[in-house]
Structure formats: C-alpha cells, structure tokens
Structure 1
Amino acid sequence: MKIFLVILLSFFELQASQVKVAIVGDSITFGSGATPTQANRYSTKLGEFLGDDYLVKTFATGGLCILQKADRPFIKTVHFTKAFDFKPDITVITLGTNDTCQNDKRKNWEHQDDLMTDTISFINKLKEGNPRMIIHLCTPTPMFPNQKGLKPERKVDLTTRAKRLPAIQQAYKRAAATDERVHFHDLTRALSSGNTTDGVHPNNEGHEQLAKHFLDLLSKDTGRCANFPESSRKESSWNGFKLHKIKLPKSGANARLVIPHTATKGQPWIWRARFWGHQPALDLALLDRGYHLAFVDVGNLYGNETAMARGEELYEILTTQFQLGPKPILEGMSRGGLFIFNFAAKHPDKVTAIYGDNPVCNFLSWPGGINGKLSKVDYDRCLKAYGITAAESKTHPQITHPNFARKLQGIPIALVIGTADTVVPPTENAKPLAANLSKIDSPVKIWHKPGLGHHPHGLSPVEPLLRFLLESQK
C-alpha cells in the first residue's frame, strides 16, 4: 500500500510540474492518414519528442472549422469545452482546412469575411480559462491538387480550395498581431505531396514531419523580431515575409533583412553570401522556425578584404542596432564559398555553422580554370580584387590549404556537392577542405548528389541539412 501511495503521489507531482500543451484542430490533428491513427498522429509524436516535462493532449475531430457560421464550428463542440477545461499553458491551433469548403454540402467559405474576427473571438474565449496561455496560431497545412492518384473531382476541389489558403494566412497573421501572447506560424512548407495520402491528410511520414516542425516551434522560447525605425524603413515582401532593404552607411553597399513571422529567442539568423533568392528552401525553412535572413551585396569581390569590410559593417549593424544573435549561420553557393569561409576564418567567434553548396574554395580552379572551368572575365576581376598578378595568384593562400582549415576548427560545416560538377570541381574545392577538416577532427558533414553538376544547388528534401544546422545551434 505504501509503495502504491508513493507511486500515486509521484504521478500527481509530475502532472503538476508538467507544461500543459493543447493541440487543437480537425481531422489532420485527429490523425487521419496515420496508421494506426492515435499512435502515429503528429500530436502523439510531438508528446514523445517533448518528453516528460510536457503533457500533450489532442482536441480534434474531422470537419471542424474556425468560422463560427460554418457547418461545424470548433467553438461550439465538446472539444472546445474540453480544451478550455484543460487550461493549457500552450495551445497550438491548426484549423482552417474545412473553412475553405464551398459546395452543395458545405457552404463555409461564404463566411470568409469573418475569419479575423472569429479567430480573435476563438482565442479570447479560450484564454478565459488561462489568461497567461501562449497560443501558436498556425495556418492550415498545404493542399496538393496534383498529387498522383487523385480522382479528377478531388483535384478540382483541392485546386479551388488551395487558392483560399492565402486569405486564411493573412487573417491569422492580423489576428495574431492583436495579442502579444499569440504567435503566428505559416505551415505552407511543413509538408510535401509525398507526405499525404490524399493531397491533404498526412501519412505516417507526414505526421512525423509535422511533429518535428512543431517541436522546433515549441522547444524554444519566442524572441523579438528586428525593429526598423520608421525613418529608415524600406519595407516590401519576400515569400510572404517582411523584407527590409538597407544601404550600409560606410560602404554604401546594398543589404537586405527578412523578418520571420515569429522570432526565436536569441534572434538567430542565416546569412546568405550570394545569389539572393536562388534555391531558397533552407532560407524559408529557417524563417518558418524563427530565424532572420540577411544578405549584403559582395558581388565581384570574391571574398577579398573589401568584401570582409562590408560583411563586418552589416554584422555590426544587425547585432547592435537590431540585436540579432552574435553567431549566424553562413550560407554560400558557388562563388559565395569564398566569402563565407574567409569571413569565418577571420571571425570564427562570429559564426555558429557554415553551409557551402558546390562552394568555390580555390579561385585557381574557378574562375582560374586550373582543373576547372575558366571564366576569364571573372578571373581578371578576381585578380584585380585581390591586387595580384596571374603569376602571384599561383602562390596565393587558398581555402583548400591545410593551414586554412585550422582557422575553421570547431565550426560545424555542411557541404552539399554535385559529384559531376565540372564548373567548380569538388576535387579541387570542397573535398580538400573537408579532408583537411577531418584530419583535425573538426565537424564536417557532406551530402553527395550523384551524377549532378554545379546546378541545381540545394538539397532536396532539405530536412537533413536543416536538422544538421539546427543541431549546431544547441
């Protein structure tokens, strides 16, 4: 009896100390598409990932909506009552998929004008149970009308409904902006077509992917988005995120900063060296997880001291005036490798990780053309940028030299390499660098893309690369 009481008391003590998380949603949250449903749905997986410090409960069933005039409004169901009575510390709301329905049977979308007000009403009512609740307001997951195997009528239905998702995104974003304890997240990129059973509902892999996505959101506290004074604001949009254009005061160089919808504590950021917007899957995945994205124009400088000065100027502004974190991830595709590795070697204390994608690590190879592809225009510009002659370039220190690797020691480095790259051959660039890093036990991870050349850049799917870089932040 005493043993039983001890176990019982321990159980109640554990429950009292746990962070209570409510996952609120529709059939996707309920687990449709997962086999078996409750064991493999994303909310169950999320609870497993979060561990014993969290108590995760699911409040969901098929067909539920955020709109109060819809045919099945969540707020009028027993699931809302149970979620309210649970008094969660954190609530994740993933509703909206069924609100896009407008047909003979379901006439929900005709009430779309009420999206923002109904969302705010939903949140306010839920918070009456716990005013200090943190709410993560999430868009519906994507729809894939072109997924193989769908019936024609299903394709037509999803094609129509998918066009309505941006309106929900905007309504949720505006609703979240009215309450500092409500954080907006866009799940547009949280799934791919191969991860659903019918163009909407995730399969087991999709549910696990969603669980990892929510783990990224919930396992870190929210931070502060970079704040631009009104006088210097040149705001536009990039892939649905706020984009600010900046002119650096000393160098006059053009720079950009993209703001996440909800920032992660510590204001982490990724710094793209070249080719703004090209193959942005990693940039978008990190923005979705609360990272800022920065860029400064270092074109035709090939990683020289002028490029370093521009980088140092941007770094100083972003880490002081805008209070971004002190150690960004550096990202360099192709010739961007010259900037990221030179900057990291000069400032190893200002870098948390490096991602090089078919990176130039030896300008004798490219643009110089020694065992690589000659680009005479670029090579002449490169020599001018460094103030050296062609003869002097033969003895100029390169990133591939063993001594250079020591300057990068301890920095996690990810390399994505096309094995058939003849423009920037890996054997003259990334591979010697990786070998030198391995010799000094410095962390380096290589993804080979068999048979692929210099293009396309990026890793597909991006998840393994994303995980490596996120782990480097811990």
Structure 2
Amino acid sequence: MFGNNFKNRITRSITADAAILALATMAHATNVACVGNSITEGYGIWGEKKYPDHLQEMLGSGYTVTNFGKSSMTFAGEKIKGGENNATYWKTEKFKAALASSPDIVVIELGTNDSKYFTDKCIWEGTERYNYLYGQCEKSQLYSDYEALIDTFAHLPTSPEIFATLQPYSNNCEWGIMDTAIVSQINPIIKETAVKKGVNIIDLHTLFQTPAWFLDDSVHPNASGAQELAKIVNKYITLAKPRIAQNGATLSVQGDAYGFRWYKAGKLIEGADKASLAISETGTYRALVKVEEGNDSWLLSDKIEVKDLSATTGIRPTRQTAQPKMRKLHHKVDVKGRIVDGRK
C-alpha cells in the first residue's frame, strides 16, 4: 500500500526519535560518582562485576554510575610527615575525573588504607612486621583532609548529595591494615566529620562483615560480596528522606528515628540532638537522622524553609471521625438481619 520511500522515511524517523529519547534520558540521568580505594575499584575480581557495576543495575536507567576507585589510596592529603604522600587519592586522575563528571550523588569509600597510620607492629607468619606509614600523619590532619574532601565535592556546581561510608571490616597484618585501627581511629574521624558537615552516612562496618563476602585477604569483597555491598549502598541512596514538620516555633522529625542532629543554614547546631527543635529565628533548617536501630547509618532530610514562626506545615490535622447516622428501618427484621416476609 505504501512505497519503500515512505517506509524508509518512517523507519528513519522512528530511529531518530529513539536516539533523541536516549540522549534526553542520558542528559537527565542522575550521575553517581563512586569514589574510593581498591574496595571500590574491585581489586581481585578483575573479570567480575564490581560494586559500582551492580549498583548501576540496581538503580536502573535513570542513573549513570561511574567507578572512580583507585587501589591503595588514602583520603589523607599530599602533605604528611617527612615529605609527600604518594598514596593520596587527591593526586589521582580518578579524583580529577570524579570532579569533572558533574556528579549528582557522591559515595565516598575511603579510609581503609588510612588505618596504616595507626598500625605500628603486628605478627605475620611468626615475624614482627613494621608498617612504613605508621605515625606519618597527624590525626588532626586526617580530620581536616576528610573535611576538605567533602567540601571539594559539595562545592561543585551540581551541589551533589554526599554519602560518606564508615569503612567495612578489614584485617590484614601483612598490609598493615588492622580492623582495630579502623574501628578506633578511622571510622570516628569519618563519622564526626560527616556529622559536622551534614552529609549522609552509610555504616558499612556494621553491615558488611560477613566472612563469605570477602576474598582470602580479609579486605576486599569477592564477586558475591561486591553485589552485597552494592545492595547496601543502593538501599540508602533510594531510601525515603526523613521529613521535618513545623508547628509554630517547633520543628520535629516525623516517623521512626534513633538519633538526631540539627542544622541551620548548613551549620551544625551544637547540642541539638533531640527529635524536636525549638527555634527563635526564621531560616533554612535540616536534620541528620539515624534511620535504623541496628547500625550507625544517618540520612539528611530535605530543607525546610521557616518564614513564619507561627506557621504550621507538614503536619496533617487530626480528622474527626463522623458518627454514622441511624437510618429508620421500614421493615421488621429478624436477628439475622433478614426482612420478615409479613409485609413483602
């Protein structure tokens, strides 16, 4: 009925429309930058999917996930005691590429290698091993470097949402990576800095400890572990944000929560750690909320703009349940509610 030229035009038109739609989808996709060390890069599972690969599948086509992991890297900056830090993530091409990727979400998985600064000696196969990084970086410097890392991403034009991860279990004396140092030194630095800056926290240490998820080195995820790690990160990226309601001069977090930190204009309000916050000024407020009882993961709420201290927003008024009206029966009924046949 139609000529070949017409069919060709239709085919070309459909193809062009599909290409335009694909480009539009890519243009509006949420960019996720997975920043990290060898755990993110996928050390030891080179032929398998890494955790960012699994995360891409879980998030779907509305997201573009990129792996910016680099093995052996620290979040400690370039300057350490006695010279340059050649293991710093700050110097890598992956870091530059992550910044240039215009991320909407940044997952920072760094810190495992920073534990080496606190590991002096340990016994490996009967021999006392000395860790060459021990003591080369002041703890105060680690605080400032991690804060600078958060700020560097936060100040990008895209103003990305940031997820800082408490480092997962790792224990390899040969490499100078000890879980005791991660628990007592590194993860407190990460958490305290993330709370100060008001960014999300994913507690990988509690949630990623299952031995079957690790390679024999007790540091890196195996193929199944990479998938499990992605499930954890995906959960908190997609979890509903905590909600804040205003009732006059009081703000409150709605729903179940297990810990609270409040911020005004992006600054942590010292001592504000309850579910409710009494306010005396208008402005922009947010809350960082511990969302589960069994781990130390925290999510940042959306902003609430307070313009009137007498306003009420985000709280549904209690609805009065209307009493049903009694209807007059026109028939006699028996005890089972059936109409008696007398007047039928």
Same fold, TM-score > 0.5, yes or no: yes
- The CA deviation at 1:195 is 1.5
1:163 corresponds to which letter in structure 2?
Answer: A
User: What secondary structure does 1:136 align onto?
Assistant: strand
Larger Rg: 2
- The CA deviation at 1:98 is 1.1
CA contact (8 A) 2:107 2:162 kept: yes
- Give yes or no for the alignment of 1:188 onto 2:201: no
Describe the superposition over 1:338-360 as per-residue Cα deviations: whole angstroms up to 9, x where unpaired: xxxxxxxxxxxxxxxxxxxxxxx
Q: Which residue of 2 aligns with 1:137?
A: 164
Q: What is the CA RMSD across the aligned residues, in angstroms?
A: 3.1
- The CA deviation at 1:107 is 5.1
CA contact (8 A) 2:55 2:233 kept: yes
CA contact (8 A) 1:22 1:59 kept: yes
CA–CA distance in structure 2, aligned partners of residues 105 and 227 of structure 1: 39
Gaps of 5+ in 2: 1-11, 80-84, 118-129, 243-252, 262-272, 275-286, 300-314, 316-344
Which of 175, 189, 193 is the aligned partner of 1:175? 193
CA–CA distance in structure 2, aligned partners of residues 111 and 79 of structure 1: 25
- The CA deviation at 1:47 is 0.8
2:233 corresponds to which letter in structure 1?
Answer: F
Q: Which residue of 2 aligns with 1:77?
A: 92
CA contact (8 A) 2:41 2:67 kept: yes
User: What secondary structure does 1:188 align onto?
Assistant: helix
Quick one: structure 1 residues 168 and 227, their matched pair in 2 at CA, closer, same or farther if it must change by over 3 Å? closer
2:51 corresponds to which letter in structure 1?
Answer: Y
TM-score by length of 1: 0.45
Q: Which residue of 2 aligns with 1:27?
A: 38
Which of 208, 215, 218 is the aligned partner of 2:234? 215
Q: Which residue of 1 aligns with 2:176?
A: 157
Q: Which residue of 2 aligns with 1:284?
A: 294
Answer 1 or 2: which has greater helix percent. 1
1:28 corresponds to which letter in structure 2?
Answer: I
Quick one: structure 1 residues 222 and 125, their matched pair in 2 at CA, closer, same or farther if it must change by over 3 Å? same
User: What secondary structure does 1:110 align onto?
Assistant: coil
Q: Percent identity?
A: 23
- The CA deviation at 1:12 is 1.3
Correspondence list, 1:77-96, <5 A: 77-96=92-111
- The CA deviation at 1:111 is 3.4
Describe the superposition over 1:239-261 as per-residue Cα deviations: whole angstroms up to 9, x where unpaired: xxxx99xxxxxxxxxxxxxxx97
CA contact (8 A) 2:37 2:70 kept: yes
CA–CA distance in structure 2, aligned partners of residues 122 and 92 of structure 1: 12
Q: Which residue of 2 aligns with 1:452?
A: none
- Give yes or no for the alignment of 1:202 onto 2:228: no
Q: Which residue of 2 aligns with 1:118?
A: 145
User: What secondary structure does 1:49 align onto?
Assistant: helix
Q: Number of aligned pairs?
A: 234
- The CA deviation at 1:127 is 2.4
CA contact (8 A) 2:116 2:131 kept: no
CA–CA distance in structure 2, aligned partners of residues 13 and 119 of structure 1: 36
CA–CA distance in structure 2, aligned partners of residues 108 and 7 of structure 1: 57
1:203 corresponds to which letter in structure 2?
Answer: N
- Give yes or no for the alignment of 1:10 onto 2:21: yes
CA contact (8 A) 1:191 1:206 kept: no
Correspondence list, 1:346-385, <5 A: none
CA contact (8 A) 2:35 2:106 kept: yes
TM-score by length of 2: 0.60
2:97 corresponds to which letter in structure 1?
Answer: K
Quick one: structure 1 residues 228 and 99, their matched pair in 2 at CA, closer, same or farther if it must change by over 3 Å? closer
Answer 1 or 2: which has greater strand percent. 2
Gaps of 5+ in 1: 146-152, 230-242, 245-259, 270-282, 291-322, 324-474
CA–CA distance in structure 2, aligned partners of residues 165 and 227 of structure 1: 20
Quick one: structure 1 residues 200 and 262, their matched pair in 2 at CA, closer, same or farther if it must change by over 3 Å? farther
CA contact (8 A) 1:99 1:108 kept: no
